[in-house]
């Protein structure tokens, strides 16, 4: 099986700023841990981060050509603004899990709106870096039981 992990704007700064909010692990560490976890489950995990909405859309299009079966996405602030990302995910029709480090519903009201949630398999929010592992396990379980 092949999965894609997508990270949106500013998540490249993880580990360097605001550790009280987003934890002290770098994105590279989170990605490498998840690649190893995925490998142990027989899943090939591709990782991509961009601060640009268009690049994220292009990566979702590529996922469809590359036979990606599931997507884990932390779209960062684009979660709350991007109809383009929503449309891309719906266009390729690849099952996805929306994930967040923080509990977005416990934060400012502008973070309560998500353009991705209602079409996601599930939402994992608030477990810090562990949200990535939980999302991976949930997506894997979902796809194995919905063959």
Q: How far apart are CA 91 and CA 88, in angstroms?
A: 5
Q: Select the span of 14-22, 33-41, 44-52, 56-64 touching ligand CA2 (CB under 6 A).
A: 14-22
The structure tokens 């939980």 sit at 134
Identify residues 105-144 at the interface with ligand CA2 (CB under 6 A): 111
Nearest-approach distance from CB 114 to ligand CA2, in angstroms: 9
Q: Select the span of 46-54, 83-91, 96-104, 137-145 touching ligand CA2 (CB under 6 A).
A: 96-104
Q: Select the span of 46-54, 58-66, 87-95, 99-107 touching ligand CA2 (CB under 6 A).
A: 99-107
The string of DSSP codes covering 65-88 is HTT--EEEEE-GGGGGT-HHHHHH
The structure tokens 């894609």 sit at 4
Q: Return the number of the residue (13 or 29) whose C-beta is nearest ligand CA2.
A: 13
- Kindly state whether residue 10 participates in binding ligand CA2, applying the rule CB under 6 A: yes
Which of 30-38's residues contact partners 24+ apart within 8 Å by CB, and which partners? 30/129, 30/132, 31/5, 33/132, 33/133, 34/5, 34/132, 34/133, 34/136, 37/133, 37/136, 38/3, 38/136
Q: Return the number of the residue (17 or 146) whose C-beta is nearest ligand CA2.
A: 17
What is the binding site for ligand CA2 (CB under 6 A)?
Answer: 10-11, 13-14, 17-18, 22, 74, 76-77, 79, 100-102, 104, 111
């Amino acid at each position: 099986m092949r999965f894609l992990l997508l990270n949106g704007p500013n998540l490249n700064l993880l580990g360097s700023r605001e550790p009280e909010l987003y934890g002290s692990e770098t994105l590279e560490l989170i990605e490498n841990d998840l690649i190893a976890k995925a490998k142990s489950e027989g899943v090939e995990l591709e990782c991509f981060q961009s601060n640009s909405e268009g690049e994220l859309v292009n990566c979702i299009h590529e996922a469809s050509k590359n036979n990606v079966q599931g997507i884990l996405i932390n779209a960062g602030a684009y979660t709350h603004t991007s109809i383009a990302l929503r449309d891309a995910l719906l266009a390729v029709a690849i099952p996805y899990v929306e994930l967040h480090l923080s509990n977005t519903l416990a934060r400012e009201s502008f973070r309560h709106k998500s353009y991705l949630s209602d079409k996601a398999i599930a939402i994992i929010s608030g477990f810090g870096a562990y949200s990535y592992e939980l999302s991976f396990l949930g997506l894997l379980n979902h796809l194995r039981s919905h063959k």
